[in-house]
A and B are shown apart, each in its own frame.
Chain A
Amino acid sequence: MSAASAPASRRPNGLVLANFWVAFGLFFVATLLGLYQLLERNGYLPTSAPLYYQSVTLHGVVQAFVLTTFFIVGFGYFVTATALDRPLRAPRAAWAGFATMLAGTLLAAAAIVSGKATVLYTFYPPQLAPWTFYAGAALLIVGSIPWIVITVAMTADWKRENPGRPVPLAQFGMTACAILWAWTVVGVVVEVVFQLLPASLGLAATIDVGLARALFAWTLHPIVYFWLIPAYVALYTIVPKAAGGYLFSDEMGRVVFVMLLVFSLPIGLHHIFVDPQQAAGWKLMHAFGTFLVAIPTLLTGFTVCASLETAGRLRGGRGLFGWIRTLPWGEPVVLSGILAALLLLPGGFGGLVNASYAMDAMVHNTMWIPAHFHLIFGGTVVIVYFGSAYALWPKLTGRRLFSRRLANAQLWSWFAGILVLTVPWHWVGLLGMPRRTAYSPYDPAIVARWRPWTPPMIAGGAVLVVSAVLFVVNLAATHRVREEEPDGPLAYARTTEPLVAVPALLNGFAFWNGLVAVLMLLSWAYPIGQFFFMDVHKSLPWGPK
């Protein structure tokens, strides 16, 4: 990074804040809905199946698609401008993208609120929503294209101007994220454009459900790594510096980002392990890749712990574990990194069960599944989004963070809330409780076994709501703080010895894109192509006319 950094006025702060506020504002609403769902389905509020499923739809769409995409695009612009230390190329296109994403979000949200798009965030056909729901989803994706192009183009510019020098790791990671996103959305975009929109507009009389499920599964796994990579970027490049230490290994970070791109894409069939229309051999092949994608996460765990240990020892920690005590636990972004790593342990364990080709049949679509992804996504990923927001807000607003104590209380309460919510969910999942039911009209003796776990779930959900309030209040109040943040870019972590050069394979994605293309062809050509050769009976659409 050059010594003289771009002045604050040339940084895309307004654009980043706009993206972040949409993300976190709607996140707050969706978190409230989560508590409503807990109360309604467990009999503490008047029972209403239409309201419950409508709420689940909005909750899922916002947390999985809106919070993530807006946060990641905003975070990506921030990283690109600060890590490369230059103004954004094509800021107007970036703003147009933001407006498009927002329009799409509002269009889809209006469809959901109208009560006609109660199809949950997985919107599996042949149930159909009005066309506005799908058009909204498409616009959300279309609006993110400027971000993909700007990220990739600015990395290319930088490499041209700095021949032989390694692209800063944070930007390398966000470039991997942008490229992964481009690959990821292909499946769902094809499904929406060629199947769901024509059917919802009445242009197609039937819909090929097997094909739609394959295309959605294409998207469904890598999208998780699209959500995860920005969190890893923060863990590699923001947390070690904020902890007062160094990044243990820059090269390993690059290896991890490359592996996430390559391994997370060709494995989506594991979401439809128990579907009858895909053959066992292809599922087994995707199961292999599912285990391989655990490798970069295991490597990340090591590098993050080693970087934190360096920091703890520099701060005077002695002995095997003494460095843990001397870590700056009061620094929100560091705390978020530690808590994320802790949540990753049970979350990863649960994931290994679902990933297991045969064992999956026992937990599929039971409460075990939402327990798993609330731990991994709602826990690990979102807690790092919080920590990053606390680190970035002063840089974006030029004001000191309103309260670090409040921030730490918020992170701890979110951590506790997620655990208290998801441990009971795992358990009732093993007892057979299905996910996504508006209430439980089953044999009373069966339901009675789930009941003891209801109060902790609700307590967990209530704690999460309180935590979400603390989060939004702290960020909003920061805008009005008088005390100014000293102007200067966010400092990214460096390795102990300066990184002079990296192999070309770890400084760009041309080769890896080629490899992804080959792997996608190998793993998806048949599972998708088979529907064009089979004697398929297409389904009649079901939905509001």
Chain B
Amino acid sequence: MHVHRLEKRWAAIAVLLAGVMIAIVVYTAVGMGIHPPSNVETIDSTRLHLTPEFAEDNLGVRREKDGTVVARLVMARFHVVPQELTLPAGTPIVIRAASADVLHGLNVAGTNIGTQVVPGYVSEVRTTIDFDSAAKAGVRNPDGSVTVPLFCNEYCGLGHQSMWARVRVTPK
């Protein structure tokens, strides 16, 4: 087989490029611990209201004993419960979301919060909100906080576009 000298060099560069990109992904994943939401936790989506965690009274934001802030949401055609969440910037937060019916998506502009919400599973995102990034994507409030939109970003039926909520991000 004959391969031109220049072609060999270019092939080496191509392999090197792929190698560098793989190395970066491994570094951010293993070294910095940044993973997409992957908690593989099942739940019966038809009985969310009967579970201790996703019963109506337990939804919203609360601070756990260890200081982490946990926000629990239910996504159902075509609304998000609760309609407004207040989350602190610069603090480790956990988002836990479950679908009551079909496939939904959850995306908060200006943050790293993005996950599919798949019926039968709990989606969990662990992140820290950067106030400045959120401020760029959101609207400033008189009290100094910022409101960013939380969209359902997976087509869930004819009312999909109306399925959204607000996240108030408070500065640290």
Contacts and interface: CB of A to CB of B under 8 A. Distances in A.
Interface of A: 49-50, 53, 118, 120, 122, 124-127, 209-210, 213, 248-249, 251-252, 272-280, 283-284, 287-288, 291-292, 294-295, 298-299, 302-303, 306, 352, 356-358, 360-362, 364-366, 431-432, 434-443, 445-446, 502-503, 506, 530, 534-540, 542
17 contacts: A120-B155, A127-B156, A249-B3, A273-B36, A275-B38, A276-B121, A277-B118, A279-B40, A298-B17, A358-B25, A358-B29, A365-B105, A432-B107, A437-B160, A438-B161, A537-B119, A539-B119
Given A276-B117, A277-B42, A356-B25, 10 more contacts: A125-B103, A127-B156, A209-B118, A275-B118, A432-B109, A438-B161, A443-B166, A445-B139, A530-B40, A537-B45
A277 B40 contact: yes
Interface of B is mostly: mixed
Contacts of B153: 364-366, 434-435
B162 interface: yes
Interface of B: 1-4, 6-7, 10-11, 13-15, 17-18, 21-22, 24-26, 28-29, 34-46, 77, 101-103, 105, 107, 109-110, 112-125, 137-139, 147-149, 151-162, 164, 166
A273 B37 CA distance: 8
Contacts of A502: 1
Nearest to B108: A432
A252 B9 CA distance: 13
B100 to A, nearest CB: 11
Contacts of B149: 432, 442-443, 446
A542 B104 CA distance: 13
Contact of B121 (A210, A431, A439): A210
A306 B3 CA distance: 13
A302 B1 CA distance: 18
Contacts of A437: 160-161
A288 B32 CA distance: 17
Given A279-B40, A357-B36, A358-B25, A434 B107 contact: yes
Contact of A436 (B10, B125, B155): B155
A361 B105 CA distance: 11
B34 A358 contact: yes
Nearest to A48: B158
A395 B4 CA distance: 34
B29 A280 contact: yes
A431 B137 contact: yes
B167 to A, nearest CB: 12
A252 B4 CA distance: 10
Contacts of B123: 276
B154 A124 contact: yes
A435 B154 CA distance: 8
Given A251-B1, A298-B14, A352-B21, A539 B102 contact: yes
Contacts of B125: 361
Contact of B7 (A249, A446, A535): A249
Contact of B35 (A122, A358, A442, A445): A358
B17 A432 contact: no
A129 to B, nearest CB: 12
Contacts of A53: 155, 158, 160
B36 A443 contact: no
Nearest to A442: B149
B115 A276 contact: yes
Q: Which residue of A252, A276, A287, A443 has the most chain B CB atoms within 10 A of its CB atom? A: A276
Contacts of B166: 443
A289 to B, nearest CB: 10
A440 B161 contact: yes
A292 B18 contact: yes
